[in-house]
Structure formats: structure tokens, C-alpha cells
A and B are shown apart, each in its own frame.
Chain A
Amino acid sequence: GEDVEQSLFLSVREGDSSVINCTYTDSSSTYLYWYKQEPGAGLQLLTYIFSNMDMKQDQRLTVLLNKKDKHLSLRIADTQTGDSAIYFCAESISGNTGKLIFGQGTTLQVKP
């Protein structure tokens, strides 16, 4: 079945770049997503990438997609303490525009 895997924890220093990685299994996924969850809150859509793209940039965020390896990454440039949160990768299920499969989430800790 479909599966999305992420490492559970990443620690960086303020001002450094953060790279959060994700692997997925459904090669026919149409869209892949990154969500951010701050403490005590719901998930907020950060960005998404269409499966026919290799890269998408949005201010400090860069998403890279390697379809051959089914690998997705989120790079945050100049990481700030406000970026500390849990980041979830998600893939859309083929043939169904409504349902997403989420990874376990990566906790990003930003040290001053």
C-alpha cells in the first residue's frame, strides 16, 4: 500500500539551512505537499509541488522532487527560531483527488 517515510528529528542552528527529507511509494501521485504544525495547533499548508516539476521555490522554501527515487525534500534557507515546528510530507492518492497519505512528521529544532 501507499507509504510515506520521514526522519523524526532535525536540529539546526539559527541562520543555517535546514533540509527535511521524505520518501513515498505511490509513483502515480499527482501532488506532493509539505505541511507545518506549530505546538498545539493544526497543520498549515506550506507548499506543494506537481509531479511533473523537479523544483519549486517560494521565498525561503525550496522543494526538490526526484521522481525516479520517489524522494521529496524541503529546504528552509536562513532558518529562524520561528521555524521550529513539526513538518509533514504528504502525497495525494492516485485516482482520488481528496485523500492524502502523511508521513510521521519531522520535528525541527532551531537553536539560537
Chain B
Amino acid sequence: DVKVTQSSRYLVKRTGEKVFLECVQDMDHENMFWYRQDPGLGLRLIYFSYDVKMKEKGDIPEGYSVSREKKERFSLILESASTNQTSMYLCASSSSRVGDYGYTFGSGTRLTVV
């Protein structure tokens, strides 16, 4: 069964800490995405990547960075966590191959910054 795996389901961090959220996919997908989900706001794109070592800003990149050193792994980094970054974080991957459709999502990481 194809999978997108996020390293933690729940995470509690202190304000000012550097936080790493890891995402790994086993489908050889080219594209990977990080979203945050907040009630009433839907999914907002933070960063995405079309290839190894490539990254592009989404709609809300401030306060975040990403790393894609290997095709299967896409990491989201909160340089200095703040309470307004408390949220559900969702990783997804997709293929650029014709006939492969949509995203596959991970189970999400619920991050609380205190």
C-alpha cells in the first residue's frame, strides 16, 4: 500500500525552539507539499517541491523553510516556533506522470507551541 509517512502525530514545542517536521513517501513521486490546516481556513500551502533540492514558496511561507535532499523526503522547518504556528500540518505528494491523479496525504502532525 502506497504511503506518505509523517514522523510524529502529536508534537509539543516551546516558543523559540527550532522544529523539524519530517515527511517520507514511498511512491517515487516527484512533487511534495506542506500544508497547514486551521478551522474555517481550509488547507493553506506553505512550501512545495517539484524535484530534489528544488523548493518554491506557497501562500504562507513566512516563518518556515524546507529541505529536500532526497526525492522521498521533504522536511518542514520552523526556524523559531511561535504560538501562531500551532496547527495541524499535512504533507502530501503527487506524481507528474500522465494517468496518476491527485495527492496522497500523510496522517498529519498536530503541533502545539507553548
* A residues in contact (CB < 8 Å) with B: 8, 31, 33, 35, 40-45, 48, 88, 90, 97-100, 102-105
Determine the chain A residues whose CB is within 8 A of the CB of B4 once the complex forms.
Answer: 42
Determine the chain A residues whose CB is within 8 A of the CB of B105 once the complex forms.
Answer: 35, 42-44
Is the pair B108, A31 in contact by a Cβ cutoff of 8 Å? no
Q: Which B residues between 93 and 111 are near A, CB-CB below 8 angstroms? A: 94, 96, 101-108
Interface residues on B, range: 20 to 34
Is the pair A45, B104 in contact by a Cβ cutoff of 8 Å? yes
Question: Smallest Cβ distance from B88 to chain A, in angstroms?
Answer: 9
Please judge, given known A-B contacts A42-B90, A42-B108, A43-B90, whether A102 and B42 are in contact too, CB under 8 Å: yes
Is the pair B31, A98 in contact by a Cβ cutoff of 8 Å? yes
Please judge, given known A-B contacts A41-B108, A98-B48, A98-B50, whether A88 and B42 are in contact too, CB under 8 Å: yes
Closest to A97 in B: B96
Determine the chain B residues whose CB is within 8 A of the CB of A40 once the complex forms.
Answer: 108
